[in-house]
Amino acid sequence: MKMQRKVRQNRTSFIEKTLSLIKKYYLVLIVIGCVGFVGIVALYKMFIMKPTYVYAKVKVGQGYWWATTQQPSIWMVKAIQAAQKQKDLTGEPIAQIINIDYYPYLGTSQFNVFVTLKLRVTKVGKNGMYNFNRETIGVATPIDLEFPSAQFSGVIIQLSEKPIITRLVPKIIYLTKKYSYPWEFDEIKIGDKFNDGDVDVLKILDKAKGETNEVLLNDQGKLISSQTETYNYIILKIRAMVQEEGPLYVYGEEITMSPIRGFDFVTDEYIYNNFTISKIE
């Protein structure tokens, strides 16, 4: 009996001491518990949970597809080309640049820039949604990227669990321009081209010209002058690298090409305005 009473007293004393220590150091214990929980989660993510990767094509810009903002200049293009990986606090990569394509923005010294990336993400539910850097991403959503050599935003135009492979096929395209000044034809050089960072995506193969006249009329359609002004009728033969999207051809990721449609473009040496596609073969 004495032995049992002593055991009970020791047990009660131990519990009281434990409760006293908890009350005295509860803040420290809470901090230790939080640190331990975070450590367990980190270890689980690092060594047990397999990371999820997706591939995204991003148009560099303000970040919203409906917003018209200034396009990147050549210095920004070079900075993005130098970028490689964006890493987290543990030094593990969360974003890696796979490919960069860029096209001149007509009439300016700026460019439309498209970056293909491999992203480490967290899958949200079963509906094909993902989180990157604590933000939900998808097609048409903005994304912020912070590489050592460049920090930029953009809008996601393509998202896939498989590597994104852009297949370009060469097409011969004939262009016409009805009213052009004589000096315009002289400025066009056969062999002039543009390279998107990987391949020559457009090249001038041949050119020809004829004469076309315009009779001057007023707003009511009446003849102002019996004299006519002479212009050149230009025909160009070019080779363009395009994507095949069903019956359509897409140049520069966004420009749909088909006969009768207008086509303005830029090469290394010239800006081509007001041309019309007459044939694609």
The more confidently predicted of residues 105 and 265 is 265
Q: How many residues does the chain have?
A: 281
Q: What are the tokens at 264? A: 């303005």
Q: Is the predicted pLDDT of residue 277 greater than 90, yes or no?
A: yes
- Phi, psi (rounded to 5 degrees) for 260: 80, -15
pLDDT score recorded for residue 67: 59
Give CA torsion, residues 101, 103, 152, 143, to 10 deg: -70
Most confident range, picked from 73-82, 134-143, 169-178, 205-214:
169-178
Helix, strand, coil share of the chain (percent; to 5): 20, 50, 30
For the entire predicted model, the pTM comes to 0.70
**Would you say residue 110 has pLDDT above 60?**
yes
Q: What is the pLDDT of residues 191-243, one digit of tens each?
A: 999 887 778 899 999 999 887 765 555 556 554 454 556 778 899 999 999 99
Q: How confident is the model at residue 116 (pLDDT cuts 50, 70, 90)?
A: very high
Whether residue 174 has pLDDT greater than 90:
yes
Q: How far is Cα 255 from Cα 166, in angstroms, rounded to an integer?
A: 15
Each residue's pLDDT tens digit, 218-227: 556 554 454 5
Pick the more confident residue, 17 or 164.
Answer: 164
Asked whether 75 and 60 are in contact (CB, 8 A), the reply is no
More confident of the two residues 189 and 13: 189
Structural element, H or E, at residue 223 = strand 223-245
